[in-house]
Structure 1
Amino acid sequence: MSDLFDYKKEMSELRFTEIQKKALAEAAASAARTPAKRRRPVFRTALIAAAMAAVLVVGSSAAGILPNPTEVFAPLFGGAVAQTEVIDKIGRPIGASDTDNGITITAEAIMGDQYNAVIVYTLTRDDGERFLPEGKGLDETYLMMGGYGGASWVKGGAHGGSWFVDEDPEDNQIQLVETASSNVAMTKGTANASFEDLQYWNAETEQAELLYPGKWKLRFEVDYEDCSVRLGGGETFSQDGLNFTIDEITLSPIAVRVVYTADSAVVWSDAPSGREAPENAPRRQRYLENIEILLTKTDGTVIDLGGSGGRVSPDYKADVSHCTKGQVFDEIIPLEEMESIRVGGVTYEIPHN
């Protein structure tokens, strides 16, 4: 099967909640009324769709002194000593860039595990002038990258998200943070990324307007260390009338991934393009959304990851559904700061060796 066929197959298996679909449909109209957040803005859901919608991209370019991954990631994902030690271990510099119409986009650095990665890009106005419209920050300027393809080097089913960060609204730079997740290993490969026409939402005209026209294409090598731990293998639990078998849990300082099998093949009802049949929502909840994932830290903090994204792939011949759910964390969590993870009522202690 071709990569394109596999990609379309993966896309057909994705399922969205009504809230997610509403956010996707209304993102542009309501963006100007919603303040951006530093790591997880309200409209990250809309950007996730953009990242998933374009997996096949092209590109090239590069240059100069390689950035320090710790300096790139620490302001965004935590700068405590333990967190920077993680970045030093798994972060890799990139330094690939491309310039068009006075704007340079640089892929600064990447970090990840076997199934997840985070890339930080810097967008620079080369004349040194303020990057965002005068008097406005990201809170008032909802940015949109037209033709955004993100970085692609994964051959399996991929999804991800992205959001903008602006530490200093008065300078000539902003950052774009991209996350990517896959059902196949992604620690090595040649990545291509393409960007086109940076736009913003004009609250006065209620329309998207062009901020910086251009086309930017990057190409770089991906090669980083996987420091994740693997748990699970055959444990079972039951809920909502289904029996589940936990196949594998992959946990790293940046992400979690849970793979499990349900003992019944879900049957999705057809619906018009862009809409969901009403009867699919409770089915999706049974197989995906209702599956508990609770991460407990050594300080007693419990992080609820049950709302992680995922996919359900029915196997009608075997009458089972293969399910995957997980997410990239908002911050780096060193493994030694994790005590246990609970999936569907089954608790696993996290090794610290």
Structure 2
Amino acid sequence: MSDLFDYKKEMSELRFTEIQKKALAEAAASAARTPAKRRRPVFRTALIAAAMAAVLVVGSSAAGILPSPAEIFTPLFGGAAAQTEVIDKIGRPIGASDTDNGITITAEAIMGDQYNAVIVYTLTRDDGERFLPEGKSLDETHLMIDGFNGASWVKGGAHGGSWFVDEDPEDNQIQLVETASSNVAMTKGTANASFEDLQYWNAETEQAELLYPGKWKLRFEVDYEDCSVRLGGGETFSQDGLTFTIDEVTVSPIAVRAAYTADEAVVWSDAPSGRQSEEDARQSQRYLENVEVLLTKTDGTVLDLSNAGGSISPDYDTGISLCAKGQVLEEIIPLAELQSISVGGVVYEIPHN
């Protein structure tokens, strides 16, 4: 029962940014009308290479040959030499797969740091025929998978997302990218991922229709290298009537995270489950969303990560709130290309040694 209690406790403490809350509300109101769709740009030639590598997984798995993490991640998160070097260091192949009704789902590879991870899955039509409905692109079909809530090894106050990628609508594969961030360490564990019934949105009938029925279950070990650097400890800043003490800031080539303590225990209202009162929204902004996080690259580019998701955990015995926010970056950025990170106006230089 302790696991169930901890799960409910963590869920009650989880808070989202205004952007995430808006997205969740829209998804709940129109799940069938606005299913998941491709999020990030990719390069055609690179994706074709990745798709070819994924075909080799199916054909060569018996011989133990798996594509390198760089083959899987480079088309999605950047293809510069420095980025590929990072992937080779921190990425790990997986190769776990399951087949049902002529569709194979394979967990290809994983990479991450202590509090964040990215997994790429390949969905393959085993007969070699076109994966998507005839004449339709991924953006037109808006694929949905029932029963997929992310790989289960992620604990604590967690948040993340997933989206499909398909550069060649005529081939027999698509990819699913999953990102996860947590306020507890996640570099090791046993992951279970379940998928059920792949559907698509039929614009003509204005209904979700079954594309590939089936149930797929994957189980694999998570064990990758944490290459993040840890900064800060004890610095303070004040805003919105609160004083925050920075506990730790972590930066890696794929993600950032800031953990800090507020000098007041947040008090939530008794709003019905699944709803947020105006007062709760205001409190969430004070403790989480209004805390500015800026990542500066060596070329002067500034990435505003203030809208990163996170969690707020009040401790009423001591009168404090433990807060954490972070996210996976849109691209891999080697540490040598990162200059500094600012949390609540406190600036930390990122070491390059």
Q: Calculate the TM-score normalised by the size of structure 2.
A: 0.90
| Match of residue 161 from structure 1 | 161
- Please give the alpha-carbon distance, in whole angstroms, between the structure 1 residues aligned to 2:38 and 2:186: 30
- Please give the alpha-carbon distance, in whole angstroms, between the structure 2 residues aligned to 1:184 and 1:21: 23
| Match of residue 37 from structure 1 | 39
| Match of residue 201 from structure 1 | 201
1:25 alignment partner, one of 25, 28, 32: 28
- Please give the alpha-carbon distance, in whole angstroms, between the structure 1 residues aligned to 2:270 and 2:190: 37
Match status 1:248 vs 2:248: yes
Please report how far the alpha carbon of residue 30 of structure 1 lies from its aligned counterpart in structure 2 after TM superposition. Answer: 4.4
The DSSP-based 3-state class of the residue aligned with 1:151 is coil
- Please give the alpha-carbon distance, in whole angstroms, between the structure 2 residues aligned to 1:204 and 1:31: 15
- Please give the alpha-carbon distance, in whole angstroms, between the structure 2 residues aligned to 1:344 and 1:163: 31
| Match of residue 66 from structure 2 | 66
| Match of residue 350 from structure 1 | 350
The code of the aligned residue for 1:333 comes to I
- Please give the alpha-carbon distance, in whole angstroms, between the structure 2 residues aligned to 1:322 and 1:180: 20
| Match of residue 143 from structure 2 | 143
| Structure 1 residues 38 and 137, CA gap change in structure 2 (3 angstroms) | farther
Aligned residue runs from structure 1 range 122-141, under 5 A = 122-141=122-141
Match status 1:223 vs 2:226: no
The DSSP-based 3-state class of the residue aligned with 2:140 is coil
Are 2:312 and 2:321, in contact at CA under 8 Å, matched by a contact in 1? yes
User: Once superposed, what is the RMSD of the aligned Cα atoms?
Assistant: 1.8
The code of the aligned residue for 1:3 comes to D
Unaligned runs of at least 5 residues, structure 1: 41-61
The code of the aligned residue for 1:313 comes to S
Deviations 1:34-85 (A, max 9, x none): 9743369xxxxxxxxxxxxxxxxxxxxx864212110100000001011000
| Match of residue 52 from structure 1 | none
| Match of residue 269 from structure 2 | 269
The DSSP-based 3-state class of the residue aligned with 1:135 is coil
The DSSP-based 3-state class of the residue aligned with 2:7 is helix
Deviations 1:302-347 (A, max 9, x none): 0000010011111111111110100001110100000000000100
Please report how far the alpha carbon of residue 259 of structure 1 lies from its aligned counterpart in structure 2 after TM superposition. Answer: 0.3
| Match of residue 297 from structure 2 | 297
| Match of residue 78 from structure 1 | 78
- Please give the alpha-carbon distance, in whole angstroms, between the structure 2 residues aligned to 1:35 and 1:326: 23
- Please give the alpha-carbon distance, in whole angstroms, between the structure 2 residues aligned to 1:31 and 1:20: 10
Unaligned runs of at least 5 residues, structure 2: 43-60
Of stretches 153-162 and 2-11 in structure 1, the one that deviates more from structure 2 is 153-162
Are 1:164 and 1:177, in contact at CA under 8 Å, matched by a contact in 2? yes
- Please give the alpha-carbon distance, in whole angstroms, between the structure 2 residues aligned to 1:35 and 1:160: 15
| Match of residue 49 from structure 2 | none
Please report how far the alpha carbon of residue 155 of structure 1 lies from its aligned counterpart in structure 2 after TM superposition. Answer: 4.0
The DSSP-based 3-state class of the residue aligned with 1:177 is strand
Are 2:38 and 2:163, in contact at CA under 8 Å, matched by a contact in 1? no
The code of the aligned residue for 1:257 comes to R
The DSSP-based 3-state class of the residue aligned with 2:159 is strand
Deviations 1:162-187 (A, max 9, x none): 11100211100000001122222211
Are 1:247 and 1:259, in contact at CA under 8 Å, matched by a contact in 2? yes
| Structure 1 residues 186 and 21, CA gap change in structure 2 (3 angstroms) | closer
Are 1:150 and 1:195, in contact at CA under 8 Å, matched by a contact in 2? no
Are 1:28 and 1:201, in contact at CA under 8 Å, matched by a contact in 2? no
The DSSP-based 3-state class of the residue aligned with 1:22 is helix
| Match of residue 316 from structure 2 | 316
| Match of residue 3 from structure 1 | 3
Are 2:109 and 2:120, in contact at CA under 8 Å, matched by a contact in 1? yes
The DSSP-based 3-state class of the residue aligned with 2:85 is helix
The DSSP-based 3-state class of the residue aligned with 2:264 is coil
- Please give the alpha-carbon distance, in whole angstroms, between the structure 2 residues aligned to 1:180 and 1:88: 20
User: Kindly, what percent of the aligned residue pairs are identical?
Assistant: 80
Aligned residue runs from structure 1 range 47-66, under 5 A = 64-66=64-66
Please report how far the alpha carbon of residue 97 of structure 1 lies from its aligned counterpart in structure 2 after TM superposition. Answer: 0.5
The code of the aligned residue for 1:19 comes to K
- Please give the alpha-carbon distance, in whole angstroms, between the structure 2 residues aligned to 1:188 and 1:7: 19
The code of the aligned residue for 1:28 comes to A
The DSSP-based 3-state class of the residue aligned with 2:234 is coil
Match status 1:336 vs 2:339: no
The code of the aligned residue for 1:37 comes to R
Aligned pair count reads 331
The code of the aligned residue for 2:189 comes to G
Q: Calculate the TM-score normalised by the size of structure 1.
A: 0.90
Please report how far the alpha carbon of residue 273 of structure 1 lies from its aligned counterpart in structure 2 after TM superposition. Answer: 2.4
